[in-house]
Amino acid sequence: MSRWRHILSARRFRSSRYLLRATLIFGYMILMTLMLPRSFRLRYPHETGQIWKGETLLAPFEFAIIKSEDSLEAERNRWLADLPDVYIEDSAQATRMQELLLGKIAEFYAKVTEYQVIVSSGDTARALQVWASYPLRLADPGAIQPASAMRQRMEAEAKRLVSDVYRQKYIEFRNSQPTEFVSLRKTPGREVMLPTNRFLQGREGLLRYFSAQQSNLPAAEWNFLKELMINGLSPNIVFSQSLTDESRRLLSSQISEYGEKIADKEEIVGKGEVVDARSSLIIDSLIIEEEKRFGGSRQLQTLLGQFLIVVLITSVLLSYLSVNRPRIYFDNSRLSLILVVILMAVGLMVMATKLTPLAARLSQTLGPNINLSYIYLAPACIVAIFISNFFEHRTAFMCNLLTAMYGAVLVQQGLEYVFVQTIAGTVVVFSLRRLRKRDTIFYTLGYVLVAYIVSYVSFHLLSKGSFEAISYHTLLLFGINVLLTLLAYNLIYVFERVFGTTSDLTFLELLDTNHPLMQDLARKAPGTFQHSLHVAALAEAAINEISGNALLTHVGAMYHDIGKTYHHKYFIENMSEEERLANPHGNLDCTESAEIIIGHVKKGVDLAHKYRLPQEIIQFIETHHGTTRVEYFYRQYLKENKCDEPTDEGRFRYPGPIPFSKEMAVVMIADSVEAASRAMKSPTPEKLREMVDAIVDHKIKDSQLENSSLTFKDISVVRKSLYRQLLTMNHSRIEYPKAPITV
């Protein structure tokens, strides 16, 4: 019953994983489809200044040309230049000005009276000092008649003049060059156009008006009153910014965005003709008109087409992974990382293409050969960089190629973009194949910039036949692209934490022998430390020849024996000559000794978890012995118990699992080969070759390499590589003659 429960629970678990993977893939395809723009532009691919590559384009129906933004703006400015400002009449201004002037007149007479009193007392100097504090200087205070009757006459004259000025309408223009007419708001929604010469205009207008006036006031009083009113009166016709803006908005809204009409079946551009600015504007107008007329039905068809394209491209990716990289395909976390990276890159491309309208406007200023698609601004090379860092280079190359295909769907220059992006991504994959230093990324980005420029220029020279057709503004986009790629590179750490996958950058950090685990191993088990370094060198050389992950192999080999820091004296490579003679295993029976030897795997896994080593490195610790037997103590056990096959053979076998990647398998073989070569006395090339062959054959016979994906050819290459490396490591040296001892 428990057996059936176990089978059913395993099936449920597998079903849930498959369901999660299916949901992940379907969700990715839906998001990718929704992200792609549904535009009619792909029906009429064109670029100003370039040759029309399709058949002669005829208008499918009658439609109006949409004015360009520049022409529409010029027309709007032309109309607005003739639009008069809007003013309003302040009806309460006359009353306020009369009250203000009466107060000024009262103040004036008070000052004159004070002056004349001081003069009559004989203090002329003080009188002049008092009069100097008064702002107006035109009137002679001694000539002013302080009688109340004269003051009343001046006040009456002031009221009359104020009423007359405001009846004629006094205005102060906001511009030095006023328009010919003024728009005067009478009532809400009603304005009248009046010629500007009807108004008293500014200080000069008041001066001319008062100069023409006659008054029965004495000369001194009349001069004072004129100066007072010229300096004190404010306009009663006032400029209104809000009403002027409202008038401008109303006029702007009435300007039609459509120009001349194109008749049905009228030729727009002929086959082989250059698309000039007018033809480009007509095609853009046709695209917009088609979107208005057929947007709903055709956009649904476009959506279906995009979904099918996404399905096909995704199927290519999944087919590649399932056949060549099943460990990625069946790992939902790794698969989701790849899909998210591609989704992010395509999203950046979509955002970049939104700048196309800006590029179209810039083309009027910067020239007709500016690239009208800003997709080159998107750092699409992050796909190749991220996938190379997290997985391996073949997968990165495939993902970059598929991302370039998505870009071809987004832009008009599909072949151009696929070519340029494929070259740039290939340079990334090639540059990062042997990542050993962090500064490699900076060199890589430099190579990418060169690859972008060279591939772009070469494509245009081939397709256009001249340097004039090259958009040099696009070269600037390549530079910005590389800078954005450098910024996006920092997201690798975030992806590591989110998806639980280790990048090559983390492996680079683990290469440092100053890591606490390596330092502890070197201090407690120096023999094992040296053994691990030699195994790393052997394994890396071998894995390079069968196109495996050399960096992962090297790091995995360095840490595969860290469990030997516990009970390090029980491992022969850490024993001194005296300890070997004393033999610490002498006081233990065979099963106890085997338990200590086998236990270094579990101890190593525990240490790896304690120091938070990546799971990929822990797998090397678990698999470097697979399920092999501790042969020495097993044979000793048989000898002591005088039996052929013990019933408890499992006590002498490592718990496994067996290696499930070629990197793990190579480390297993290199580990055994290196240990055996150290135990060999007087190694010769023949002995070394026989030893390597025997160890590899034993691993195959013991079924330790079944899950490693190593082919017979790979195994043959690994044999030869290990043999060559051992010959180098065990080469003989010339015996130097001893120097004579002199007394």
List, in order, residues 6 or more apart from 315 with CB less than 8 Å away: none
All domains of the chain in start order, with CATH: 17-48+294-499 (no CATH), 86-250 (no CATH), 504-729 (1.10.3210)
Q: Round to whole Å and give the CA distance between 328 and 363.
A: 46
In order, the DSSP letters of 276-316 are -HHHHHHHHHHHHHHHHHHHHHHHHHHHHHHHHHHHHHHHH
| Unique residue bearing structure tokens 């009153």 | 225
Query: What average pLDDT values come out for the chain (743 residues) when binned by 10 residues?
Result: 50 70 91 77 66 78 77 77 82 87 83 78 76 64 71 86 87 73 77 82 84 81 83 85 82 76 83 79 78 66 85 93 88 91 91 69 48 75 88 89 87 77 89 69 86 88 70 82 84 84 82 88 88 91 88 91 83 69 69 81 90 90 87 68 62 86 92 86 84 91 88 91 85 47 40
Residue 739 is predicted with a pLDDT of 46
Q: Is 116 exposed, middle or buried (0-12, 13-18, 19+ CB in 10 A)?
A: middle
Residue 65 is predicted with a pLDDT of 81
Q: What are phi and psi of 269, to 5 degrees?
A: -155, 140
Q: Is 66 left (phi over 0), alpha (psi -120 to 50) or beta?
A: beta
Q: Is the peptide bond before 584 cis (omega within 30 degrees of 0)?
A: no
The encoded tokens of residue 19 equal: 């369901």
Q: Round to whole Å and give the CA distance between 415 and 487.
A: 28
Contacts by residues 142-150 (CB-CB < 8 Å, ≥ 24 positions apart): 142/115, 142/116, 143/218, 143/220, 144/109, 144/112, 144/220, 144/221, 144/224, 145/218, 145/221, 146/109, 146/112, 146/113, 146/116, 150/217, 150/218, 150/221
b/e 707-728 (16+ beta carbons within 10 angstroms → b)? bbbbeeebbebbbebbbebbee
**Pairing between strand 57-58 and 190-195?**
unpaired
In this prediction the pTM is 0.62
In order, the DSSP letters of 346-399 are HHHHHHHHTTHHHHHHHHHHH-TTS-S-GGGGS-TTHHHHHHHHHS-HHHHHHH
